[in-house]
Amino acid sequence: MTLSASHDFSAWMQDIQARTETALDHCLPVKSLMPTRLHDAMRYAVLGGGKRVRPLLAHAAGDVFDAAPETVDAAACAVELIHAYSLVHDDLPCMDDDTLRRGKPTVHIEFDEATAMLAGDALQSLAFHVIAAPGLIHDGARQVRMIELLAQASGSRGMAGGQAVDLDSIGKRIELQALEFMHIHKTGALIRAAVLLGAHCGNADDAALEKLAHYANRVGLLFQVVDDILDTEADTATLGKTAGKDEANDKPTYVSLLGLTQAKALAVEMRDAAHHALADFGSKAQRLHELADFIVARTF
Ligand code: GRG
């Protein structure tokens, strides 16, 4: 990537992150609305942090089909609200039991466990409220497909299912294939939903959606391999969450199964496969290419 291209990419990223923050702010209930403590916790969980990788992917996929950015904002918010809920619940003592997230105390530490549970629940409901908004897109049948896609990606056949397998694998030695299954669901499903929902906003046809799904599947795994590498290599201050948690929790990861060098090689392989999946889209897919590079670059 040239220097000017990388400058342009940073400016684009900042623009999408800023518009996502504004869109999220608008769809979340204001703090002063009853029940104020719950609304405060929901806003705390969502606003002012996070890389907004999923909204970036949704907008990049929308760009391929000239989707209206305002429509993609709604789809991106829905995915980000599901992501935020999953982090709140993942941090609870009954799951990962973590005290730090995005450089701040986790929601159950800042508020309390019951509030954190309810905030996660309510964020999930809000996500479906946002994606089901009447008139979000002109094609009602396509909007129903979008709602179904988000439901599948977050439920027992997607993220929640992946989390169940993750919890079940603690302290166990699992094969690479089982690790891949877990991550395709836990992390990959929502990343795939972000890409496909962005593309739906631009009326992508089924053939294009299939190619994008292939890209998203590679990026989802890439994201997880990178997350595993960072958990070993980066410090808590850089990550904004507790480093070394996977090893401390005796969780199987790409690094524990393959070693650091091979995990990094796998990341490069996934990135190249992601680029390859975009071959038919030409320069319209520039942002999707750049995002795959950006995700890998975090580790090198
Ligand atoms: C509780 C149903 C349920 C699911 C939880 C997403 C998840 C499933 C757990 C998070 C644990 C984890 C570290 C997963 C690995 C990849 C991942 C999703 C990291 C966090 O996402 P980022 O890096 O976070 O996009 P930010 O803070 O930037 O939004």
Which pTM was predicted? 0.94
- Answer whether 186 contacts ligand 1 (Cβ < 6 A): yes
Q: How far is CA 165 from CA 57, 69, 80, 160, 265, in A?
A: 26, 36, 22, 9, 25
CATH number reported for the structural domain that contains residue 192 in this entry: 1.10.600.10
Largest interatomic CA distance in the chain: 52
Which of 104, 166, 187 is the pocket-test mutation for ligand 1 (most atoms within 8 Å of CB)?
A: 187
pLDDT-based confidence at residue 239 (cuts at 50, 70, 90): confident
Question: What is the average pLDDT value for the chain, to the nearest integer?
Answer: 94
Ligand 1 pocket residue status of 202, Cβ below 6 Å: no
51 alpha carbon to ligand 1 midpoint, in Å?
A: 11
Which ligand 1 atom is the nearest neighbour of the CA of 54? Answer: 25
C-alpha 261/C-alpha 266 separation (Å) is: 9
Please tell me the total count of domains within the chain: 1
Atom 19 of ligand 1: nearest residue by CA position: 227
Contacts of 79 (CB under 8 A, 6+ apart): 54, 55, 58, 127, 150, 190, 193, 194, 197
CA–centroid distance, residue 66 to ligand 1 (Å) = 29
Question: Is the confidence at residue 265, as pLDDT, over 60?
Answer: yes
List the domain range (segments joined by +) for residue 266: 3-297
Kindly give the distance from the C-alpha atom of residue 83 to the centroid of ligand 1, in angstroms, as a whole number.
7
The two tokens of residue 75 are 């789809």
Pocket residue to mutate for ligand 1, from 16, 89, 90, most atoms within 8 A of Cβ: 90
104 lines ligand 1 (CB under 6 A): no
Quick check: CB of 102 below 6 Å from ligand 1?
Answer: yes
Rounded Cα–Cα distance for residues 265 and 270 (Å) = 9
Question: Residue 300: pLDDT band by 50, 70, 90 thresholds?
Answer: low
Quote the pLDDT of residue 1. Answer: 44
With a CB cutoff of 8 Å and minimum separation 6, the contacts of 294 are 9, 13
Residue 50: CB within 6 Å of ligand 1? yes
Give the number of C-alpha atoms closer than 13 A to the C-alpha of residue 264, restricted to the C-beta side.
Answer: 9
Q: What pLDDT, on the 0 to 100 scale, is given for residue 249?
A: 77
- When pLDDT is cut at 50, 70 and 90, the band that residue 3 belongs to is very low
Mean pLDDT is lowest, of 1-5, 188-192, 213-217, for: 1-5
Nearest CA to ligand 1 atom 13: 227
51 CB near ligand 1 (under 6 Å): yes
- Rounded mean pLDDT of 84-108? 97
